Homo-oligomer: A and B are copies of this chain.
Amino acid sequence: MALKLLGVSGSLRSNSSGLRALSLVLDAARELGAETRLLDLRVSSLPMYNPDAEPDEHVTRVLADVTWAEAFVLASPDYHGTMSGAMKNFLDYHWSEFSGKLFGYLCASHEKGVTAMEGMRLAVRQCYGWSLPYGVAINSEHDVDASGNIINPRLQSRLRMTARDMVVYGSLLHGQFTEDLAKNIPETFAARYG
């Protein structure tokens, strides 16, 4: 069965290299049989998270995508060594929807984006989500041409690798979690979500 993969873009720039890279991952994932959706935080109009507030239509629409998804690729710029406020705000809204699902990471950074991706991994793990054991950094100075196209072949290859590993490992992990939930296996972390 096709894996349902949601890409989330956490940059508000009109010409985001992270979004370009994310689109490449989603394209490659579809070629490998996945169903994909893109959540672009520039246009999702998600308000700042307030635990006391009733969800509005924007929150509800985002939640529908998140609930639909069986695996995620998060693309964030690196601001001060950490993910963007827009990406963090997206994560703040969700909790049990992330559990048992695999996450991959892209980061547009002047460095390697290591700490920004570590911060995303931490937040995801607190929700019992899995993380791919690597991430991909995009350096807009070297990897992207004037029109925003990704021109570094080594980066293109790492993005296709991400797509492949997301589809294969994401399906494995989600399949096991779903089976454990269905069978009411008591001694697994899925049991918290039954």
Contacts and interface: CB of A to CB of B under 8 A. Distances in A.
Interface in A37-84: 41, 48-53, 79-84
Interface residues of A, number: 62
Contact of A81 (B52, B89, B122): B122
A181 interface: no
Interface string A1-36: 000000000001110000000000000000000000
A112 B113 CA distance: 11
**How many monomers of this chain does the complex have?**
4
Contacts of A90: 85
Contacts of A157: 187
A91 interface: yes
Interface string A133-174: 110000000000000000000000100110011001100110
26 contacts: A12-B51, A12-B53, A13-B52, A79-B88, A79-B91, A79-B123, A80-B124, A81-B123, A81-B125, A82-B88, A82-B91, A82-B123, A84-B88, A84-B89, A85-B85, A111-B112, A114-B115, A121-B121, A121-B125, A125-B134, A128-B134, A133-B189, A161-B187, A168-B180, A172-B172, A172-B176
Interface of A: 12-14, 41, 48-53, 79-92, 95, 99-100, 111-112, 114-115, 118-119, 121-131, 133-134, 157, 160-161, 164-165, 168-169, 172-173, 176, 180, 185, 187-189, 191
The 4 closest A-B pairs by CB, nearest first: A85-B89, A12-B50, A85-B88, A80-B123
